[in-house]
Amino acid sequence: MFGSVNLEGVEVMEIKVGERAGFCFGVDRAMDFALKEGKESKNSVHTLGPLIHNPQAVDKLKKADIKVIDQIDKVDDGTIIIRSHGVRPSIIEEAEDKDLDIINATCPFVQRVQEKAKQLYKDGYQVLISGDKDHPEVIGILGHTDNQAIVVEELSDCKEVKLKSKVGVVAQTTQSLNKLKKLVDYLLPQISDLKVHNTICTTTGQRQDEAARLAQDMDLMIVIGGYNSANTNRLAEICRENGAITHHIEQADELQVDWFSNIKKIGVTAGASTPNWIIKEVVSRMAEIKQDVEEKETTEESTTLTVGERVTGTIAQLTEDGAYIDIGAKTEGFIPNNEISSQRVASSEILSEGEEVEVEIVNPEGEDGHPILSKRKVDEEAAWAKVKEAYENEEIITAKVDREVKGGLVVNIGLRGFIPASHVAVDYVEDLSQFVGQELELKVIEVEEENNNVVLSRKAILEEELSKKKEEILNSLNKGDIVEGKVTKLVDFGAFVDLGGVEGLLHISEISWQRIEHPSKVLEEGQEIEVKVLEVNPTEERIALGYKQTQPDPWEQFDNKYDEGDKVTGKITKTVDFGAFMEVEPGVEGLIHISQLSHEHVANVEDVVTAGDEVEAEILNIDINERRVGLSIKELESAPASQGQPARQPKSRPNKRNNNRQQDKEKKNGTTIGDLVGDDLEDLFS
């Protein structure tokens, strides 16, 4: 798994170099193209941007008379080399228009991502790119989607995107597989048509896995590669995640002697853009340093105090410059103010004479003979341990806000902690000064000890509390419940109502028994109302509400007020091919069929009535279960004379309901209207 460190005679027994460290296939291919062209071409040769993210390799290309440009318009002839990261299609077209010789050294793995993204976009998918938005590779992939794809660096970026029903996902070739998995896990429950292409370079994944295994067994990891190289930075991050002290360097002269003190096992890995000769130089220099450190440690074994050693002592005296402490050595140790605490306060505010404290040896022999000690380093290490434990276990910590700074708040957690403005509360807070001096409950969301960076979130805790409250409310609601809520938002299709931590949808059709053009005709934002739960789905967190169900039902009122045969007056609300609708009471509409508009033949409804007309009609029938009312205008008009016959007067239409009750009564007496009228009964009511 791991290679020998015997590089041209250099042999260091306790240094392990990863077999996959250094140039990947794509970078090696691009360098070969460039060096060959630089050697053979009689014309000028340029690379569009640094060929790889390694300054030393770029210098080597420069010595081969290969120049770096950042825009096509800066070269008029010769050869242009497209680097392994790839470019937008428009750049290739621009180079072709200028008749430049083009050598496309785009890595085949990158070309695959470009093709996948382009096809997804062509097929109508909303394309998400998991990667670094500022990375040249990602910028090139964007160009293959007409710059319409969305770059997701962190999962929080995706949560701010309005997702469509069809989503396609690709990844930057050097992206972390873990980040891609988190994105896919987030999208799966939401997207009905999701296509995911794992376009992470296999070599990248193998190199990262190797680095992780190596770091687990090492005391120290040296990661070699350009500071601007995304894959090298990711390797350093992986090594730290796996518990090894990690240093990221570009070249051998950056190695520091004190890194190797008390270190027994050293691992080495390198990014895909790191030439092998740089790896060799680093390993050679490490061998020299290791030998020097071992000799120094042997010499210092006889001394009482060593750098980094921890001792416990008693504060003997406090001064304006710091504190003297008895640590049992030949002379008292001294803690300068800047080594007492990271806070800018007097030593007397933190220490007291006679107090026992633990300190770290910074310099065994200071300028005045007193060992220089640090309490701050001991405290910060303890604070880092506490912060890391809280981060790993997702524990809540409490911290006081020290001050407001640009973009957020600074808190004291034994270290400097930062709360971004977007993580202070669930909703955006414009005035952050109100939190200064407050004790806040926080969660650690990012820890970078090497950069002295701790990021905290109050929003994460508040969202968890809201989520629990929402779950409780969803589980407590039942279909048919009448509950109180507040209108939070009006939209064309209805209103959203807050039920105390979870929102339900009040569809426009459930707001009023009458037709309304917009919810604002009935409701206002901020209004407190009672609503009825029509449906509740705790799994999908969906609640359907009704407002009109809490108001009197106009149909029930209508049914109690009117009978068949009654005359009603109302306004025509709408005309259709087969008749006209008339509002007989607020919230109740009846249909006047075209055949009931006139005794004459009616070809066009609007020849008789139009929307807005006030008319009188007779109720033909009422079906309260189906909420239907049949109406007639012609029943209130005289029939026209026909074939010399006198015009009939409008007939008095009997009340069917009362008539039925009368028939029941007559049946009990043994006589019915049918018995009295006989065959003429049908004609009487025709």
Say which CATH number the domain at 436 has: 2.40.50.140
Q: Is the pLDDT of residue 577 over 90?
A: yes
76, 104, 132 - which closes a domain = 104
Long-range contacts, stretch 379-383, CB < 8 angstroms, 24+ apart: 379/341, 379/414, 380/342, 380/414, 380/415, 382/414, 383/413, 383/414, 383/415
In a domain, 682, yes or no: no
Confidence of residue 22 (pLDDT cuts 50, 70, 90): low
Least trusted range by pLDDT, from 54-58, 231-235, 462-466, 585-589: 54-58
Q: What is the pLDDT of residue 377?
A: 84
Q: Do 629 and 598 have their domain in common? A: yes
Residue 324, SS3 per DSSP: strand
Q: What is the distance between the alpha carbons of residues 224 and 17, in angstroms, rounded to a whole number?
A: 11
Closest by CA to 249, choosing from 264, 265, 235, 261, is: 235
Q: What is the distance between the alpha carbons of residues 287 and 294, in angstroms, rounded to a whole number?
A: 11
Q: What is the pLDDT of residue 651?
A: 45
The answer to whether residues 313 and 357 touch, using CB atoms and an 8 Å cutoff, is: yes
Q: Do 128 and 78 have their domain in common? A: no
Q: What is the distance between the alpha carbons of residues 269 and 24, in angstroms, rounded to a whole number?
A: 13
Annotated binding-site residue? 85: yes
Cα-based distances in Å from 537 to 469, 499, 544, 619: 16, 15, 9, 42
Q: What is the CATH number of the domain that holds 134?
A: 3.40.1010.20
Annotated binding-site residue? 44: no
Instruction: Say what the pTM is.
Output: 0.37
88, 104, 120 - which closes a domain = 104
In whole numbers, what is the pLDDT of the chain averaged over residues?
82
pLDDT for 323-369, tens place per residue? 888 887 667 888 888 888 776 667 777 888 888 888 888 888 776 77
Provide, rounded to the nearest whole percent, the portion of the chain with pLDDT above 70.
87
pLDDT for 380-432, tens place per residue? 888 888 888 888 888 888 888 988 888 899 988 888 889 999 898 888 888 88
Q: Is the pLDDT of residue 685 over 70?
A: no
Q: Do 235 and 289 have their domain in common? A: yes
In a domain, 675, yes or no: no
Q: Is the pLDDT of residue 2 over 80?
A: no
Q: What is the pLDDT of residue 298?
A: 54
Q: What is the pLDDT of residue 290?
A: 75
User: Span 199-212, mean pLDDT?
Assistant: 84
Q: Is the pLDDT of residue 260 over 90?
A: no
Whole domain around residue 538: which residue ranges?
A: 477-550
Annotated binding-site residue? 201: yes
In a domain, 255, yes or no: yes
Structure tokens at 405: 């700074």
pLDDT for 61-95, tens place per residue? 777 788 888 888 888 888 888 888 889 999 889 88
Q: What is the dihedral of CA 388, 240, 401, 351, to 10 degrees?
A: 70
Which of 11, 19, 37, 137 is catalytic? The answer is 137
Least trusted range by pLDDT, from 260-264, 431-435, 655-659: 655-659
Q: Which residues contact 680 (CB under 8 A, 6 or more apart)?
A: none
Name the packing angle between helices 25-40 and 55-63 (round to 10°).
20
Q: What is the distance between the alpha carbons of residues 418 and 410, in angstroms, rounded to a whole number?
A: 5
The answer to whether residues 371 and 363 touch, using CB atoms and an 8 Å cutoff, is: yes
Annotated binding-site residue? 173: yes
Q: Do 481 and 537 have their domain in common? A: yes
Q: What is the pLDDT of residue 390?
A: 86
Annotated binding-site residue? 273: yes
Annotated binding-site residue? 601: no
Q: Is the pLDDT of residue 567 over 60?
A: yes
Closest by CA to 5, choosing from 350, 267, 365, 307, is: 267
Q: Do 558 and 543 have their domain in common? A: no
pLDDT for 620-669, tens place per residue? 999 888 889 999 999 898 877 654 455 444 444 444 444 443 444 344 33
Between 27 and 316, whose confidence is greater?
Answer: 316
Q: Do 62 and 88 have their domain in common? A: yes
Provide, rounded to the nearest whole percent, the portion of the chain with pLDDT above 90.
28
Cα-based distances in Å from 227 to 154, 179, 274, 649: 21, 21, 11, 101
Residue tagged 């006198």 (tokens): 646
Closest by CA to 212, choosing from 197, 191, 195, 234, is: 234
Backbone angles phi, psi at 482, to 5 degrees: -100, 120
Structure tokens at 434: 């109100």
Q: Do 315 and 289 have their domain in common? A: no
The reply to whether 339 belongs to the active site is no
Q: What is the distance between the alpha carbons of residues 417 and 383, in angstroms, rounded to a whole number?
A: 11
Q: Is the pLDDT of residue 448 over 80?
A: yes
Q: Do 221 and 272 have their domain in common? A: yes
Q: What is the pLDDT of residue 296?
A: 61
What's the length of the chain?
A: 686
440, 463, 486 - which closes a domain = 463
Q: What is the dihedral of CA 317, 321, 327, 331, to 10 degrees?
A: -90
Structure tokens at 499: 């039920």
Q: What is the pLDDT of residue 332?
A: 83
Q: Are strands 579-585 and 567-576 parallel, antiparallel or unpaired?
A: antiparallel
Q: Do 70 and 56 have their domain in common? A: yes
Angle at 17 between CA 11 and CA 21, to 5 degrees: 135
In a domain, 504, yes or no: yes
Q: Do 442 and 354 have their domain in common? A: no
Q: Do 422 and 396 have their domain in common? A: yes
In a domain, 471, yes or no: no
Q: What is the pLDDT of residue 141?
A: 95
In a domain, 305, yes or no: no
Q: How many domains does the chain have?
A: 7
In a domain, 92, yes or no: yes
Element housing 299 (H / E): helix 276-300
pLDDT for 468-515, tens place per residue? 888 888 888 888 889 899 999 999 999 999 888 788 899 998 888 878
Confidence of residue 125 (pLDDT cuts 50, 70, 90): very high
Q: What is the pLDDT of residue 188?
A: 92
Q: What is the CATH number of the domain that holds 37?
A: 3.40.50.11270
Between 604 and 229, whose confidence is greater?
Answer: 604
Q: Do 339 and 269 have their domain in common? A: no
DSSP string, 385-420: HHHHHHHHTT-EEEEEEEEEETTEEEEESSSEEEEE
In a domain, 272, yes or no: yes
The answer to whether residues 503 and 569 touch, using CB atoms and an 8 Å cutoff, is: no
